[in-house]
Chains A and B, each alone.
Chain A
Amino acid sequence: MTYIVKPVNHHPNLEKNKLGLTRRDYEGTISTLCAGCGHDSISAAVIEACYDLSISSDQIAKLSGIGCSSKSPSYFLNQAHGFNSVHGRMPSVATGANLGNKDLLYLGVSGDGDTAAIGIGQFMHAARRQLNITYIVENNGTYGLTKGQFSATNDQGSKSKYGEENVFAPIDLPTMAIQLGAGFVGRSFSGDKQQLVPLLKAAMKFEGFSLIDIISPCVTFNNHLGSTKSFDHIREHNESVSSLDFVPIGKEIKTTYKEGTKVDVPLHDGAMLTLEKLSKKYNPLDKGQAIQSLNEAEKNGKVLTGLLFINPEVKDHAEILNISDTPLNQLAEKELCPGAKKLAKINASLN
């Protein structure tokens, strides 16, 4: 961590996006995480993605649970409202927030302890309900704030900093999310900005539950030899299944992918996701194949990354519930309170 206060003044010639904002306008307060923490790279990728998409920060709500990961929403998007809720319960708060105003963009930031252990129930039900959220898991396989206990995503046989061996099999969040019907499931690595930023942009544009499981090594407690969530281990075992470009509405698709490897996926607002399959076997539109590939990779000690699954057909939670086009928090009093005349009728039905 650093104690240096961020300078407020911006360089006058910084690059600007469509809203006339610079990347600095998307920053947050200074990080208090350990120097070199993977989570900080993820915050930088979120800043980059929001800048690229020219989203106004006030249209974003960032929510988190408890843990190192859940502190990170402070470190990006200062002008967005944030909600650091209780441990493992961010999905329910985000669900309620979304019911209240379905038009904001919801960024959920969680960790492997927050999602795969204490919060696994809420995570599963949010995926099942197709909550419209970009759900980021900053996955480091360890409980950092409480000093290095194993988490439920830690690989069996992986060693802790203190030499202890993890004896339980891990929970694979992407596999579980696909099974539960999440519309968009990806995995990435905090050290791979090139893959992560387009994945984040696509997830933010996706209307439905989008999970990005981001392996984010813990430099203090889980970056040693014997750890399967260390920078070195991930770099060696990373197998990307797809590379993608996010093409906003009206832009020409210019990517030059090899014949037969390109998949175009239209998103809800008309934007296009162009995807290059890096593995012949992999089809991210096929639920069964996606799960099979994830299982095989796990057997072979590989970590599949990229866009793992997408179902562009899903309806999000608000649409399933047939919620009015005007967000519920903006309905006028006269639309909500039926008044005395209607009450007289109700009285009549009760006597």
Chain B
Amino acid sequence: MNKISSINEFVIKFANVNGSGSASANQMFAKGIFRSGIPVSPKNIFPSNIQGLPTWFEIRASEKGYLGRKAGIDFMVAMNPQSYTQDVAEINPGGYLLYDSSWKRDFKREDINIIEVPLTTLCVDEFNNPKTRLLFKNLVYIGALSYLMNINKDIFIKLIEEQFKGKEKLIAPNVQALEIGFKYAKKHLVDACKIKVNQANLTDGMILTNGNNAGGLGCVYGGATVCTWYPITPSTSLAESYKKYCDQLRVDENTGKNKFAFVQAEDELASIGMAIGANWNGARAFTATSGPGISLMTEFIGLAYFAEIPVVIFNIQRGGPSTGMPTRTQQSDILSCAYASHGDTKHVILIPSDPKECFEFSADSFDISDRLQTPIFVLSDLDIGMNDWTCPEFEWDDNRKFDRGKVLSKDDLDSMESWGRYLDVDGDGIPFRTLPGTHPEKGAYFTRGSSHDEYARYIEDGEVNARNLSRILKKFEGAYKFLPKPIFKQETNASSNGLIYFGSTEAAMQESLDQLSVSGFPIDAMRIRSFPFGPEVWNFIDQHETIFLVEQNRDAQMKTLIVSEGNVNPEKFISILCFDGSPITANFISESISDVLLNKNTSQPAEEIK
């Protein structure tokens, strides 16, 4: 029997029943590999359900640092008879299947290696409580894997101790479960597996965290004091992360009082309304939501745009349209965010590609929003938001100061002869604003979503209204100066083919570019990090004959945005589109591109790849 043999380079998948406590055990396994010094990317593929449906957890370990999802499983831990057929079919030839052999089964695949561990029997023998037996099964297979893959067992013991800090009673039985699995494998499964983990130091200076955790923390660092939100997958954990870190970092030691407000609103209309109200008063406030929430918020987003009130909106994208696939990933809200609300509206978008950027863009978004006095979208997705990523440690410069933008103080107002809320005095389209309660006689005005003049007075004069709209556009057009610039994979362009991508596609991109290079198709790549686009984006498009635009949506939304915002020929773009709800893979990208380029060489017309 052929056995896949690999060191520090493999994909392992766990097939479980949701609600069985498997996610935390699987997470622990991923962390065990990470602590062995190997970069990992765990992905939780879960149903929109609380208990009983199939759920999967995929971990890719890669010493090369290739952390995009990869199709084809090297090692399957099949814990759910409901999904056996599908799970077994996914295993690569020569791969491994570990299952609970308390109930033996013939999987009818001769080309894979079956590893039998009687998990249930082992737990029944050792533990009395039926519920604990179920939970401990997970630890037993972790123990077995620890032996099979040669991952230092002490790492897992330490992880158990950390996890149950404060509930010390639980440490011993969990460790016991781990040992049971380890001992069983050591006794019965010698040389059963040729996939091994060799201790390395590739994760020094790295952390393993998810984008929502990072985004919530970024809000604390960015000075947000108000979080108003409504529960919706996959954004909920961002709000919860903010609360978690505020509880640690923002409670006054002397008074016990909160230097933050955390409000679960009655719906998304209220959550955005509250965030706008707080920002109107000068408190940095944000809301976190996902596609359906954005749809509900659009009226208010238009108000904040037109009345020029800062507000930060996190959109952790999920599979759409409508309710769609709430627990799967997509990049399909680009247009609904860029042009959210009725009338002529356009919005600034920041697009992070990993948890570290989630932290940075989150903190930056409050400065940008205050500076531009407009809503800012931080457009993440489920893959970054809810999955743990191996990424560099967060950094903070203590010399950095909040940029509160053009806000007038009492002294400013005293020294001014006249002031108009929407007057463009600096020529950048950005007016000065005042906050309620600043001055007893000066600076009060009426904020409104109805048409207004430079002095915030209600008007129905079309010319005045057009002038105001043009000024807001001017502000928008200059916004790129404050936004994160694109990242280029190459120092100088070397190919007539360019590739544009953004967001979570980053995880698959380096591997993909390497594959293309090996196939003889080197390609220049640029990652867009914000909208509106700056000159760097337009230059890159100009400098290439053909642009492959990789997106995780059906309609090539980024292409639409680029083509509609810039004077570029749509013919030059070839879209590579993945919209099945799974994170895009390197193979999909490079195969799609090389197919096109091969066809091109034989002078056949290129088609859109879906």
Contacts and interface: CB of A to CB of B under 8 A. Distances in A.
Interface of A: 56-59, 61, 63, 73-74, 78-86, 89, 91-101, 103-104, 121-122, 125, 318, 321-325, 327-329, 331, 333, 335-340, 342-343, 346-347, 350-351
Given A85-B449, A103-B437, A351-B203, A96 B258 contact: no
B293 interface: no
A64 to B, nearest CB: 9
B398 interface: yes
Given A323-B258, A328-B259, A86 B221 contact: no
B285 interface: yes
Given A98-B277, A350-B207, 5 more contacts: A84-B448, A92-B272, A97-B280, A97-B281, A337-B221
Interface centre among A80, A84, A94 (most CB of B within 10 A): A84
Contacts of B34: 351
A92 B450 CA distance: 19
Contacts of B261: 99, 318, 321, 323, 328
B303 A86 contact: yes
A339 B398 CA distance: 6
A27 to B, nearest CB: 13
Contacts of B271: 92
Nearest to B303: A86
Nearest to A101: B281
10 contacts: A57-B444, A92-B265, A92-B274, A95-B228, A96-B281, A99-B277, A321-B261, A333-B401, A337-B222, A350-B207
B263 A99 contact: yes
Contacts of A91: 270, 273
A329 B396 contact: no
B277 A100 contact: yes
A293 B446 CA distance: 40
A80 B443 CA distance: 9
B438 interface: yes
A58 B259 contact: no
A351 B266 contact: no
A84 B452 CA distance: 12
Interface residues of B, number: 75
Interface in B211-252: 213, 217, 220-223, 225-226, 228, 245, 249-250, 252
B26 interface: no
Given A58-B436, A61-B436, A99-B261, A81 B447 contact: yes
Contact of A96 (B208, B267, B273): B273
B436 A81 contact: yes
Interface string B177-217: 00000000000000000000000000100111100010001
B548 to A, nearest CB: 34
A93 B207 contact: no
B538 interface: no
Interface centre among A56, A85, A92, A331 (most CB of B within 10 A): A92
A34 B223 CA distance: 46
Contacts of A342: 249
B445 interface: yes
A89 B269 contact: yes
Closest 5 CB pairs of A and B: A96-B277, A92-B273, A100-B283, A100-B281, A96-B274
B251 to A, nearest CB: 9
